[in-house]
Each structure stands twice: as C-alpha cells, then as structure tokens.
Amino acid sequence: MTDHELELRLRAVADVIDTEAPAFDSSVLRGASSRRGRNRIVALAAALAIVGAAAAPVAVSGLRHLFGVDEVKELGPVPADVAPPLPTFEGRKVTLDALDKMPFAVRELPSPSRPTAAYVRDDIAGGMVTLVYGDGRLLTEWPDKRVDARITIVPTSGKAEDVKIGSLPALWIEGTARGTFTLIGADGAVHKERFDVGKGVLLWKEDGIAFLLKGATRSAEAARIAATLAR
C-alpha cells in the first residue's frame, strides 16, 4: 500500500463519518451561557428553540457517500446573507483557449461541439469554471479537496438519490429546488450564493475536482453524460 492509497482510504472514511455527524444541539446553550453573555442568552432562548425545531433532521435512508442529506418538514426562508442567484455562476467570460491557463485541468464534455461559452470565477479560492453548451447543459467544476454538501429535502415532492458514475458515487437532485453555495472567496471571506436546481443537478468529484452538471432531465442521462468525463 502506498502513502497515497493510505491517504485516500483515510479521507474516504472521513467522508463516511461525515454523513453520521450529529448537528450541534444548540438547545443546550439555553442553560450554558458564555461568560460574557449570561444576561442576553435568556432573551434568545425562545427564538433559538424555534430555529432548532425547524432545522431538526429526521432519519434519511441510505448512505450518502459524498454528501450529508437531511430531511426536514419545512424549509425556512432564504437567509438574509445569501446573495441572489447567478444563473450560470458566470464571472469573467473567457475564450476556450484561456481555460488552459486555469490552475487545474478543466475537463470538457465530449459532445459534438465545444462549449459555446466559458466563465471563470476569479473571486473564488482555487477558481471555478462553468462551461455552457449549446444544448442547454452547464458543467461547473472547481478544485476541491473536500466537497462537503449539506442537503435539506422538503419531502413534499422531488428527490435526492445516490447514483453511480462507473464506480464513482454521485448525488442526483431533481425537482424545483433552491440551492445555496457557500463559497470561500479569493480574499478568504465566506459568502453564499443562491441558485436554482432547475431540471436536475448531478454532483460528484473525481481526482480532487468537484463537478456540477445541470441540464439533464433524468439521473441516468446525467450519469451517462458524467461518465464521459471520467479519466
């Protein structure tokens, strides 16, 4: 076993453990105020209890290999700190030739034609590329040593399911949806952006690169498209 293989096994185990991690039970704070805030915590206790109840996850069947999935009964409003959606995650529009200068190897779908447009986000740590194809598909990719997604499902309709891209685990989400990307800016600041899942989204990662594919209508189709990117 090489060091690299050992590292992969350890990181994979960390990913599995992630799916089992309990959320912090913030209700205990009601009886344990910080030393500087004993007086103020009492006033917040009631409000916090409501927040905690709304966000309390219930069991979701199946292991999520890459992403923790929580199921709740009611989805709260969009947090105030979430920026409006960016339909294509677009940033700076670049030529396809410019993709060669990205700090990671950008992969393209082997479709009949090359992307009709490419966008680069310079404001995100590590960079993010979105390729737009003429048939409506969008492929967003970014270097990511860890994809740590938290998914909240309102079980009125729609679904999130595990799929396979060859041997790679992936997550398919479909239906009308609201997503939030938590991004780390190149300046180190954390910011959040909202986007619409639309017809469906496939999320997966391979070789340290995370991928998000939009535009496929079914999970099998998305997985088939994604498989063409595999190395």
Partner 1 sequence: MALEYSVELPLDRAPSDGEAELVARAAGGEAEAYAALVRPYERVAYRVAMAITGGSADAEEASQNGLLKAYRSLDRFAPGAAFRPWLLRIVVNEAHNVVRSAIRHQRLGARASEQHDAAIPGPEDAVVAREEVETILSALRRLPEADRLAVALRYFAELSDSEAAALAGTSKEAHRVRLLRARRRLKTMLEEADD
Pairing of strands 138-143, 68-71: unpaired
Q: Does 153 bind partner 1 (CB under 8 A)?
A: yes
Among 138, 183, 213, 229, indicate the residue that binds partner 1 (CB under 8 A): 183
Per CB under 8 A, which of residues 1..60 are in contact with partner 1?
1, 3, 6-7, 9-14, 16-18, 20-26, 28-30, 32-41, 44-45, 47-48, 51-52
Residues in contact with 226: Cβ distance below 8 Å, sequence separation at least 6, in sequence order: 165, 170, 202, 204, 211, 213
Q: Does 87 bind partner 1 (CB under 8 A)?
A: no
Q: Locate 158 and state its tokens.
A: 């729609």
Give the CA distances from residue 163 to residues 138, 182, 189, in Å, rounded to whole numbers and listed in that order: 19, 24, 33
Among 54, 63, 105, 230, indicate the residue that binds partner 1 (CB under 8 A): 63
Stretch of residues binding partner 1 (CB under 8 A), selected from 90-98, 110-118, 129-137, 179-187: 179-187
Q: Does 227 bind partner 1 (CB under 8 A)?
A: no
CA distance 190 to 192: 7
Stretch of residues binding partner 1 (CB under 8 A), selected from 87-95, 111-119, 137-145, 219-227: 137-145
Per CB under 8 A, which of residues 194..213 are in contact with partner 1?
197, 203, 210, 212
Query: In the block, which residue shows the tokens 């923790």?
Result: 68
CA distance 181 to 189: 14
Interface with partner 1: number of residues (CB under 8 A): 87
